[in-house]
Amino acid sequence: MVGYYTTPNQLREKIKKVHSDLTDNDMNPMGGGTITLQNNTDGKGDFIAKWEHPSLSMPTQSQLDSA
């Protein structure tokens, strides 16, 4: 699991900066997306719950931090 991000859409935008060819649909599991972001409402924020993209690897914490 990669770290938590608390600002709404912060994690989504950082992922899209690392992998610029990703779209919001890639992160929409209800629409067939292969990446699931989750927030357990425990005060920790959003995190990558599942990454099943067929050609892109899940970004590292270092990549997200520098994005």
For 9-47, how does the pLDDT look when each residue is reduced to its tens digit (9 = 90+)?
899 999 999 999 999 899 998 888 999 999 898 888 889
Amino acid 6: pLDDT: 67
In degrees and rounded to multiples of 5, residue 37 shows phi and psi of -100, 145
**CB-count exposure of residue 56 (10 Å: 0-12, 13-18, 19+):** middle
Amino acid 2: pLDDT: 65
Amino acid 7: pLDDT: 67
Please tell me which residue, 6 or 29, carries the higher pLDDT value: 29
Helix (H) or strand (E) run with residue 14 in it: helix 10-18
**How far is Cα 31 from Cα 17, in angstroms, rounded to an integer?**
21
Q: What is the mean pLDDT of residues 41-65?
A: 92
User: Residue written as tokens 């590292």?
Assistant: 60
